[in-house]
Amino acid sequence: MRAEGTETVRRILCVFPRYTSSFGTFEYAYPLTDGVQAFMPPQGLLLIAAYLPANWQVRFIDENLRPATMEDFEWAEAVFVSGMHIQRQQMNDICRRAHAFDLCVAIGGPSVSACPDYYPSFDYLHVGELGDATNELIARLARDPSRPEEQVVLTTKDRVSMTEFPIPAYELAEVKKYFLGSIQYSSGCPYQCEFCDIPGLYGRNPRLKTPQQIIAELDKLRECGVTGSVYFVDDNFIGNRKAALDLLPHLIEWQKRTGYVMRLACEATLNIAKRPEILEKMREAFFITVFCGIETPDPDALKAMHKDHNMMVPILEGVRTINSYGMEVVSGIIMGLDTDKPETGDALIRFVEESRIPLLTINLLQALPKTPLWDRLEKEGRLIHDDDGRDSNVNFLLPYDQVVDSWRKCMEVAYEPAKLFARYEHQCDYTYTQRIKVPISPEQKSWANIKRALIMLRNIFWKVGVLGDYKKVFWKFALRRLRRGDIEGLIASSMIGHHLIMFARAASGGQQNASNYSIRLREASVPAE
Distance CA 57, CA 12 (A): 6
Q: Which is nearer to ligand SF4, 12 or 373 (CB)?
A: 373
Residue choice 28, 39, 191, 202 for contact with ligand SF4 (CB under 6 A): 191
Residue choice 79, 189, 460, 464 for contact with ligand SF4 (CB under 6 A): 189
Give me the least distance between CB of 332 and ligand SF4, in Å please.
8
Determine if 27 is a binding residue for ligand SF4 (CB under 6 A). Answer: no
Residue choice 81, 167, 196, 460 for contact with ligand SF4 (CB under 6 A): 196
Determine if 235 is a binding residue for ligand SF4 (CB under 6 A). Answer: yes
Give me the least distance between CB of 386 and ligand SF4, in Å please.
27
Give me the least distance between CB of 405 and ligand SF4, in Å please.
26
Listing DSSP states for 146-183 in one string gives: SPPSS-EEEE-SSBPPGGGPPPP-GGGS-GGGBSSEEE
Determine if 269 is a binding residue for ligand SF4 (CB under 6 A). Answer: yes
Distance CA 368, CA 85 (A): 9
Give me the least distance between CB of 431 and ligand SF4, in Å please.
22
The values of phi and psi at residue 292, to 5°, are: -120, 130
Q: Which is nearer to ligand SF4, 175 or 521 (CB)?
A: 521
Determine if 193 is a binding residue for ligand SF4 (CB under 6 A). Answer: yes
105 with 88: CB under 8 angstroms?
A: no
CB count within 10 Å of CB 310 equals: 24
Q: Which stretch in 105-113, 139-147, 191-199, 209-217 sits in contact with ligand SF4 by CB under 6 A?
A: 191-199
Q: Which is nearer to ligand SF4, 76 or 373 (CB)?
A: 373
Torsion of CA 504, 33, 521, 243, to 10 degrees: -130
Q: Which is nearer to ligand SF4, 235 or 486 (CB)?
A: 235
Q: Which is nearer to ligand SF4, 95 or 193 (CB)?
A: 193
End-to-end CA distance of the chain: 15
Largest CA distance in the chain: 68
Residues in a beta bridge with 13: 59, 79
| H-assigned helices in 38-109 | 43-51, 70-75, 88-99
CA distances (Å), 362 to each of 203, 380, 382, in order?
A: 26, 25, 22
Give the contact letters, 328-367, x = binds to ligand SF4 (CB under 6 A), - = no: ----------------------------------------
40 with 16: CB under 8 angstroms?
A: no
CB count within 10 Å of CB 228 equals: 17
Determine if 198 is a binding residue for ligand SF4 (CB under 6 A). Answer: yes
Ranges assigned E (strand) in 21-179? 57-62, 78-82, 104-108, 124-127, 152-155
CB count within 10 Å of CB 314 equals: 12
Determine if 168 is a binding residue for ligand SF4 (CB under 6 A). Answer: no
487-508 and 400-414 are packed helices; what angle lies between their axes, rounded to 10 degrees?
Answer: 150
Residue choice 90, 236, 271, 515 for contact with ligand SF4 (CB under 6 A): 236
Distance CA 490, CA 474 (A): 10
Q: Which is nearer to ligand SF4, 134 or 269 (CB)?
A: 269
Give me the least distance between CB of 160 and ligand SF4, in Å please.
22
Q: Which is nearer to ligand SF4, 213 or 269 (CB)?
A: 269
Q: Which is nearer to ligand SF4, 240 or 344 (CB)?
A: 240
| H-assigned helices in 259-333 | 276-284, 299-304, 315-324
Q: Which stretch in 52-60, 94-102, 193-201, 277-285 sits in contact with ligand SF4 by CB under 6 A?
A: 193-201
Distance CA 283, CA 286 (A): 5
Spacing of C-alpha 313 from chain mean position = 26
Residue choice 128, 199, 211, 297 for contact with ligand SF4 (CB under 6 A): 199
Amino acid at 162: M
Determine if 293 is a binding residue for ligand SF4 (CB under 6 A). Answer: yes
Q: Which is nearer to ligand SF4, 159 or 522 (CB)?
A: 522
Give me the least distance between CB of 311 and ligand SF4, in Å please.
13
Determine if 237 is a binding residue for ligand SF4 (CB under 6 A). Answer: no
Q: Which stretch in 51-59, 67-75, 163-171, 188-196 sits in contact with ligand SF4 by CB under 6 A?
A: 188-196
Determine if 373 is a binding residue for ligand SF4 (CB under 6 A). Answer: no
C-alpha torsion sign, points 449, 36, 178, 328: positive
Say which residues have a Cβ less than 8 Å from residue 512's Cβ, sequence separation at least 6. Answer: 21, 23, 503, 506
207 with 186: CB under 8 angstroms?
A: yes
Determine if 296 is a binding residue for ligand SF4 (CB under 6 A). Answer: no
Give me the least distance between CB of 299 and ligand SF4, in Å please.
16
How many chain residues bind ligand SF4 (CB under 6 A)?
Answer: 11
Q: Which stretch in 13-21, 59-67, 74-82, 196-204 sits in contact with ligand SF4 by CB under 6 A?
A: 196-204
Three-state DSSP state, 368: coil
How do strand 287-295 and strand 263-267 relate by DSSP bridges? parallel
CA distances (Å), 375 to each of 371, 457, 479, 491, in order?
A: 7, 49, 53, 45
Q: Which stretch in 84-92, 169-177, 185-193, 311-319 sits in contact with ligand SF4 by CB under 6 A?
A: 185-193
Q: Which is nearer to ligand SF4, 131 or 293 (CB)?
A: 293
Q: Which is nearer to ligand SF4, 106 or 198 (CB)?
A: 198
Give me the least distance between CB of 196 and ligand SF4, in Å please.
3
- Positions in the binding site for ligand SF4 (CB under 6 A): 189, 191-193, 196, 198-199, 235-236, 269, 293
